[in-house]
Amino acid sequence: MAKRLTEAEYYQLIQSSYPAVVGGYSGLGYADYELVRRKLRGILSDLLAGQRDNILLVSGATAQGIGVVYEVAKEFRLPTLGIVSECAQPEDISCFCEQVFYVPDPDGTWEVKSSEGDSYVVEAGRRGQMFYLGGGEVAVNEIVEAKSKGVTVNVFSDFFPDPKEVEKRLRNSPDFVSRPTCFL
């Protein structure tokens, strides 16, 4: 079970490390998980080859979708931090995620923002690097905020969500856009 962090512990951790933030699809999953794993291995290999000290893998804590990054991080023996909405249930958290910072989310948006409206994910990314393998609305909001704050974000929009999950979403929401990172 992941260690639950306070806000102060979250800040202490990201300040004493080099956060590699990885975002993407969550509930929609991916059409090709092996492609996602290969890309993640490449990203982490490049970071390690760059002689980065104290790399901390940061993502959204849940096992779904981009949560596969926690499995890959374990292969590289990297410490991990999940930043997630308090809407997440303990069973949603990846068993490979070592530390979790639950963020109050009274509106159930799944965004992880401070009371001032700033993303805790972007705050971590400001101190390291950010990578997105596609992603939905939450990912887009994080990318836009990061760019507005001068943070470099590496967006790989050639990753597709699981078509079965997209089909389900489109039945309920015909205007749903499944690949919004393509428009950034």
- What gap in Å lies between CA 85 and CA 90, rounded to an integer? 11
Taking only the tens place, the pLDDT of each residue in 40-77 is 999 999 999 987 779 999 999 999 999 999 999 999 99
Q: For residue range 74-128, what is the model confidence (pLDDT) as tens digits?
A: 999 999 999 999 999 999 999 999 999 999 999 998 899 999 999 999 999 999 9
How confident is the model at residue 20, as a pLDDT?
A: 96
Q: What is the pTM of this model?
A: 0.94
Q: Which pLDDT score is estimated for 14?
A: 97
Please name the CATH architecture into which domain 3-183 falls.
3-Layer(aba) Sandwich (3.40)
DSSP 59: E
User: For residue 183, is pLDDT > 90?
Assistant: no
Q: Model confidence over 1-31: pLDDT tens digits?
A: 899 999 999 999 999 999 999 999 999 999 9
**Residue 154 confidence (pLDDT):** 97
> In the chain, which residue ranges form alpha helices assigned H by DSSP?
7-15, 33-49, 68-75, 120-126, 137-148, 163-172
Residues β-bridged to residue 153: 130
CA angle 47–181–53, rounded 5-degree value: 15
